Each structure stands twice: as C-alpha cells, then as structure tokens.
C-alpha cells in the first residue's frame, strides 16, 4: 500500500516546507534578532541615561519573572484551543513594536514596560507556538524539522550582531533598534498569516483529538517531566546570563570596540549552528534522551579541557590574549541551550498533540524563573 500513500504525502511536502520556513523565520526574528540583539544596545543605554548594569539587565529578568508564570500557561491554553498561528501573529507584532518603543523611550519605566511587551512577544511568537506547529505537521522527520527551525536562532543572533554595528554607525542606536523592530514585523508577519495550523488530513480530526486529551496528572507523576524541566531551566539560565552580560563586560570593562565586542558575541552564536543541525539529525536516529545526555556531558567537560590547556582559545575579533579564557563558559552554555531545547521540543508524542502547548508552557515558566534569578544576580 505504499503507493496509495505517496500522493497524499507528496501533496503535503510543499506545505511542510512552508511550515518549516515559517518557524525558521519566526525564531530567526523573535529569538535571534530581538532576544539576542537587545543586549548589544545595553551599553549605549548605560552611557546615555546613566543607568546601572543591574537596571538594564533587570528589564529581561523582571519581564521573564512576570510573563513566564502569568502568561506562559495562558499561551499554552490558547495554542491548544485556537492553534499556534493566531498566537504567533500576536507575538510577532508585540516583539517588533517593543523594539520600536525601546528606540523612543526616555525613562526607566518605559524601558521596563517595552521589555515586558517584548517578553510577551517571545512567549506568544517564539518557541512555544512553533514547537506545536512543527509537531502537528511533522511526524517521521520531526527532529530534522525542529533542528532546521532552531537553526534560525543561531543565524539570527549571529547576523544581528554583525549588522547592528553598521546600523548604529548609520542611524544611531535608537534608529538601529527601530529598524530591527520594523524588520521583524515585515519579515515574519506575512509568513505567519499564510501558514495553516494543521495539515489537511488532520484538520477534520482536531475535535476528536481534543476530546481524547490524556489526563495531565499522568505527566506530573513521571520523573522524566521534572528532569526535562530541570535541564531546560539550567541550560536557558546559563545561556541567558551569559548573553545579557557579555556585551556589557566586553564594552565597559575591557574597553573593546563595538565591532570587536559584536564579533566575539557573534562567534559564540556561530558555534551553535552546527550543533543545532547535528542534534536534530541525531534525534531522528537514536533515543532522544541519549542525545540530551551526550550534549550535556560534552558541555560539562568542554570548559575544563580548555582551562587546562590555557591560552588555546582561538582569537575572535581581536581578543587580547590575556582575556581569551572568558569565552569557554559562553560557548559551552550555548551548546547546553541547544541540547535542552532539542530534548524538550520532542517531549509530546503524536497522540498527545492536543496538549503540546500545555506541556511546553509547564516547563517554560520554570526556566524563565531560573533565568530571572541568574540575570538579577
């Protein structure tokens, strides 16, 4: 009977490609451009407004602490009830408008308010709805699809750090932020508008699937859930803390130029691109818990080997030899983030797709809480 299934499968392939590209661009914009791009501008704010580092990094910390617990569960419910497309569109608008608002702020309360909107955009348009969207469209090649989509985070973060110094030189830091916000909306909103929540052969059965949702009590009784939550919050807390403070450290403490600081930060993100592809490929071929264990082990051992060797960290963007030991923690933390995301992204099986949003939003508030503690420390 394979011949009977091949026409239907072939008809889905173009739409599956559209879904994969949409998720790639969404994560490229909302996580890569917005999340990884904003810390590049912190030192400009410190110099112009006289704010402390704790004040500028607290914008992300406080927004994570508020948005994670209060809106994470609600976003998961909305995804399961109405589908990921509508939530993505709202998140894209919020993330883009938040950057435009930050470009025009004049006080600290405005900074916190627009950062809160940016965090809402992340929850509504970032990993949560994209994970659900990909899970609905992909079964056999879900790992590859997730790996490809999450590649957008690394590429977006790399490009925004390469592009930002040029934008600042041309338009100033406020004009650069505004340009990024407009780019996020113009690039991502049309794709999210055109994508479908479900493949054609699944859409008629959505009501039946939702009526046969597995009880959530079974999830809380499984140790795997708590291990995934713990690993996820540790990885995102490590990479979040590094990302928020790296540019401030390089620019204000080490007195690096904007171009050199951006080059170092972008090198860290470039190292994650190959890892995201590799993890997606491995997850389709070996047990996913083994993939997670492999990457956590590699990330744990990596910095110790670097420290024993001393000065063998490669030069990135003109880093002085005396400071090259600052890089391994950032690189290894990013690798851990890729592992945590890839493992968590595949938690639900196909029959549980109706609760995918709920399962993911249970983990997201926990990881956001830990990240807020790291960033405020």
Q: Of the candidates 363, 375, 350, 343, which has an alpha carbon nearest to the alpha carbon of residue 128?
A: 363
pLDDT recorded at residue 98: 95
What secondary structure letter does DSSP report for 215?
A: P
Phi, psi of 214 (to 5 degrees): -70, 145
Q: Where are the domains of the chain?
A: 18-198+223-376
Contact indicator for 73, 354 with CB cutoff of 8 Å: no
pLDDT in tens, 252-277: 888 888 888 888 887 777 777 777 67
**How far is the C-alpha of 83 from the C-alpha of 168, rounded, in Å?**
38
Q: Quote the pTM value.
A: 0.70
Q: Please state at what angle helix 84-103 crosses helix 53-82, rounded to 10 degrees.
A: 160
Q: List Cα–Cα distances, 320 to 269, 305, 311, 333, in angstroms.
A: 20, 20, 11, 22
Q: Residue 171 corresponds to which tokens in the numbers above?
A: 């338009």
Burial of 91 (0-12, 13-18, 19+ CB in 10 A): buried
- Asked whether the beta carbons of 362 and 318 are under 8 A apart, the reply is no
Higher pLDDT, residue 341 or 254: 254
CATH code assigned to 18-198+223-376: 1.20.1250.20
Mapping DSSP onto H, E and C, the string for 53-91 reads: HHHHHHHHHHHHHHHHHHHHHHHHHHHHHHCHHHHHHHH
pLDDT tens digits, one per residue of 193-234: 999 988 864 444 444 444 444 555 667 777 877 877 787 777
Q: At what angle do helices 356-376 and 223-248 cross, to 10 degrees?
A: 40
């Amino acid at each position: 009977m394979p011949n009977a299934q091949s026409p239907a499968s072939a008809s889905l392939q173009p739409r599956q490609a559209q879904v994969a590209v949409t998720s790639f661009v969404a994560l490229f914009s909302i996580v890569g451009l917005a999340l990884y791009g904003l810390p590049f501008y912190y030192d400009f704010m410190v110099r112009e407004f006289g704010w402390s580092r704790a004040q500028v990094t607290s914008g992300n910390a406080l927004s994570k602490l508020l948005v994670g617990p209060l809106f994470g569960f609600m976003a998961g419910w909305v995804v399961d009830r109405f589908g990921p497309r509508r939530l993505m569109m709202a998140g894209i608008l919020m993330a883009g408008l938040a950057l435009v608002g930050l470009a025009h702020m004049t006080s600290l309360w405005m900074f916190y308010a627009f950062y809160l909107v940016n965090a809402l955009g992340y929850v509504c348009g970032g990993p949560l709805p994209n994970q659900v969207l990909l899970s609905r469209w992909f079964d056999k090649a879900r790992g590859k699809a997730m790996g490809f989509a999450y590649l957008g985070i690394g590429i977006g973060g790399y490009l925004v750090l390469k592009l930002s110094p040029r934008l600042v030189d041309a338009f100033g830091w406020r004009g650069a932020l505004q340009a990024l916000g407009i780019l996020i909306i113009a690039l991502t909103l049309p794709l999210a508008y055109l994508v479908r929540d479900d493949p054609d052969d699944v859409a008629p059965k959505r009501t039946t699937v939702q009526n046969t949702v597995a009880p959530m009590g079974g999830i809380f009784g499984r140790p795997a859930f708590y291990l995934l939550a713990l690993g996820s919050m540790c990885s995102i807390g490590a990479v979040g803390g590094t990302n928020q403070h790296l540019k401030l450290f390089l620019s204000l403490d080490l007195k690096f130029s904007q171009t050199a600081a951006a080059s170092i930060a972008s090198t860290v993100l470039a190292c994650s691109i190959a890892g995201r592809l590799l993890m997606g490929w491995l997850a389709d071929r070996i047990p996913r818990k083994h993939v997670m264990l492999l990457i956590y082990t590699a990330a744990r051992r990596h910095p110790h080997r670097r420290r024993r060797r001393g000065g063998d960290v490669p030069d990135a963007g003109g880093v002085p030899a005396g400071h090259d030991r600052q890089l391994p923690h950032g690189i290894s933390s990013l690798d851990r983030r890729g592992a945590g995301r890839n493992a968590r992204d595949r938690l639900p099986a196909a029959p549980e797709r109706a609760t995918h949003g709920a399962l993911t939003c249970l983990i997201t508030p926990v990881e956001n809480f830990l990240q807020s503690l790291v960033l405020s420390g």
